[in-house]
Amino acid sequence: MRNFDAVLFDLDGTLIDTNQLIVESFQHVFRSELGLEVTPAEIYPYFGEPLHTTLARYGPDRADELVAAYRKFNLSQHDRMVRPFPGVAGAVADLQAAGVRLGVVTSKITELALRGLRVCGIADYFPVVVGVDQTQRHKPEPDPALRAIALLGVEPGPRVLMVGDSPFDIACGRAAGCMTAAVGWAANPAPLAACRPDFWIEQPADLVTVVTGPAGGDCGSAAGPG
């Protein structure tokens, strides 16, 4: 018997590698609109947070304008730079074959999230994609995870696993009553480990073991990496 009925995935940095695209999009906006130079290390803590929230920190009176500039640049580079993380396609195929319900919970707008999944060839595995435009409250609040759970038709609770690469994902899943898993390929793993997720997944194949293997799996712990 599998350990989980459903798995909810964050998108960027978890299923698909958009790390460099996100960094360059922020750098473009900060440089062209605000005259600021920022390093990747300054941007990583905001991975997983809704874009409007992040940009309002830097230009509270210009947040909508900054979001529009970010999205224009991001879209112009998106299909060229986005790719799936190695092993992800095989892992989600194995989970689907095992009868696990799969969904995406992302701080991206739904349309762009679907585009990223299609570019990476994994859209068909996810009947439910909940973007930032579908709920009034966003990560780290539980609302997007709870919406995905309802759309998947499963019961909320510890038989749902939330998988992500940022503290916002872990907080969202935990608030929704899910078990949580952090990915070892996260761009900024230190604060993620500090959240003490229920599982730490070093490789996508490890997730299959956690979800479908012996009770509790054998590939993750709340201790984080190392």
Question: Catalytic positions, please?
Answer: 10
Number of H helices, E strands in the chain: 10, 8
Q: Is the peptide bond before 140 cis (omega within 30 degrees of 0)?
A: yes
Q: For residue 7, what are the β-bridge partners?
A: 102, 161
Residues constituting the chain: 226
CB contact at 8 A, 188 and 23:
no
DSSP secondary structure code for residue 120 in this structure: T
The tokens describing 86, both together, are 């190695």
Q: List the Cα angle 77/80/84 in 5-degree steps.
A: 115
Measured CA angle at 89 (ends 85, 90), to 5 deg? 115
Q: How far apart are CA 149 and CA 126, in angstroms?
A: 12
Taking the CA atoms of 207, 208, 212 and 217 in sequence, report the sign of the dihedral they define. negative
